[in-house]
Structure 1
Amino acid sequence: MPENTPRTAPSARTVGFDLDMTLIDSRPGIKATYEVLSAETGVHIDAELVVSRLGPPLEQELAHWFPDDRIREAGDRYREIYPAHAIAPTLAMPGARAAVRAVQEAGGKAIVVTAKHEPNAKLHLEHLGIEPDAVIGWLWAEAKAEALREHGATVYVGDHVGDVRGARTANALSVAVPTGPCDAAELRAAGADVVLTDLNEFPAWLADYRD
């Protein structure tokens, strides 16, 4: 190899991250948004129950509260009011910024692949100063494999069994954190290759990981 040819570090890779309850704790903001939606529509929504099971797409959750012919309208309104009520209360999960930086500092790319409405996902990341190389929204579970394959991700980090399924569908290593609705046993049973306590452990794990 010529001396001036760039060399890729052995640890350089593309790593995908889920958003809700992996990189961000969006429960306070989502709860507030559902409470506003409930007040506007007059439909009872148990917002505490909603935030206890984050992960699946919005329409899947709305189907628990609205008849089929109102789900689209309710979803559009939810996304419309979301920025005003959900961005400010949302916090970064412990270790989130350092996890993304660890990938980038190793010469790799960090991407976010989420079921969330993509513009709102970007608002969260900008507000919290988390700077991935790409953000891809509107993908859930196995569908996340589309973006993971497109970007050449070999690792996907998430908190939900749906994230594990997405990683496995993409033939990526599934790294799971039990910081959302799924505990460590559920994540392992779903096929997670690695289960960390939280993202604080991710930089050290990444430094030791070899494909």
Structure 2
Amino acid sequence: MATHPRTAPLTVGFDLDMTLIDSRPGIKAAYEALSAETGAYIDADLAITRLGPPLEQELAHWFPDDRIRTMGDRYREIYPLFAIAPTPAMPGAHEAISAVWRLGSVSAEDGRGRAIVVTAKHEPNAKLHLAHLGMEPDAVVGWLWAEAKGEALREHGASVYVGDHIGDVRAARTAGALSVAVPTGPCDAAELRAAGADVVLDDLTCFPDWLESYAAERVADSA
């Protein structure tokens, strides 16, 4: 009987906002609540068109520098009340995570693949979203952006990172991981390709088929 060298189960990282979840309705509600509470003008419709970077970058458009930290803390406090319930999963999100578990190992003996979430969102709020939507990734790491995400991906041994923003492409590059991009957020397909994405899918509904091919190549390469 032929034997093949073993490879550790595949670990795939996912971004959260506009990759696994459509956070626009919830974030809009949270910004509107913060605006009503503080009396500050926030164009919530505009803010949700540029999701991805850390919260403080957006707040800098609406508050003076000396208030950004306080407003960020307050936003995160009220966020669970306003933002969790209105936020749906992106099409294909549950299936994408399941595909990693099902296809992400070279052999059944190696165990299932690992799906992790690495996001710029406040980690407790990220976990609330995932729990509310019935998603149970193997790990969740929050409050990281772009290259800093790459450090967490590398620590978890991720060889693929899936995201919707050019910052996610930079994260994958930093980690030495394959960048799989979906133009479901503020960055279109051309922008993601120009940033260096290795693969651009229409959305996460395409991910299981892509992963099946990738897993098969991985088996062949390890033989």
TM-score normalised over the length of structure 2: 0.90
Distance 1:82 1:30, change over 3 A: same
Q: Which residue of 2 aligns with 1:112?
A: 117
Look up the equivalent residue of 2:152 and give its one-letter code: A
Q: Which residue of 2 aligns with 1:26?
A: 23
Give 1:11 deviation, angstroms. 8.9
Distance in structure 2 (CA, Å) of the matches to 1:177 and 1:93: 11
Distance in structure 2 (CA, Å) of the matches to 1:171 and 1:146: 10
Structure 1: segments with no counterpart, 5+ residues: none
Look up the equivalent residue of 1:67 and give its one-letter code: P
> Structure 2 residue aligned with 1:124, among 125, 129, 138?
129
Secondary structure of 1:153's partner? coil
Distance in structure 2 (CA, Å) of the matches to 1:38 and 1:179: 27
Distance in structure 2 (CA, Å) of the matches to 1:105 and 1:133: 13
Give 1:50 deviation, angstroms. 0.4
Q: Which residue of 2 aligns with 1:146?
A: 151
How much is the aligned-residue C-alpha RMSD, in angstroms?
1.4
Secondary structure of 1:92's partner? coil
Structure 2: segments with no counterpart, 5+ residues: 104-111, 219-223
Secondary structure of 2:185's partner? coil
TM-score normalised over the length of structure 1: 0.95
Distance in structure 1 (CA, Å) of the matches to 2:20 and 2:146: 17
Q: How many pairs align?
A: 205
Fraction of identical pairs, as percent = 78
Secondary structure of 1:131's partner? coil
Distance in structure 1 (CA, Å) of the matches to 2:8 and 2:193: 25
Q: Which residue of 2 aligns with 1:97?
A: 94
Paired residues of 1:12 and 1:103 also in contact (CA < 8 A) = no
Q: Which residue of 2 aligns with 1:191?
A: 196
- Cα distance per residue 1:137-175 (max 9 Å; x no partner): 000011101110000000000000000000011110000
1:58 aligns with 2:55: yes
> Structure 2 residue aligned with 1:180, among 176, 181, 185?
185
Give 1:105 deviation, angstroms. 1.5
- Cα distance per residue 1:30-89 (max 9 Å; x no partner): 000000101111110000000001000001110111101000110011000000000000
Give every structure 1 segment of 4 or more consecutive aligned residues whose post-TM-superposition deviation is greater than 3 Å. none
Secondary structure of 1:12's partner? coil
Q: Which residue of 2 aligns with 1:85?
A: 82
Paired residues of 1:117 and 1:137 also in contact (CA < 8 A) = yes
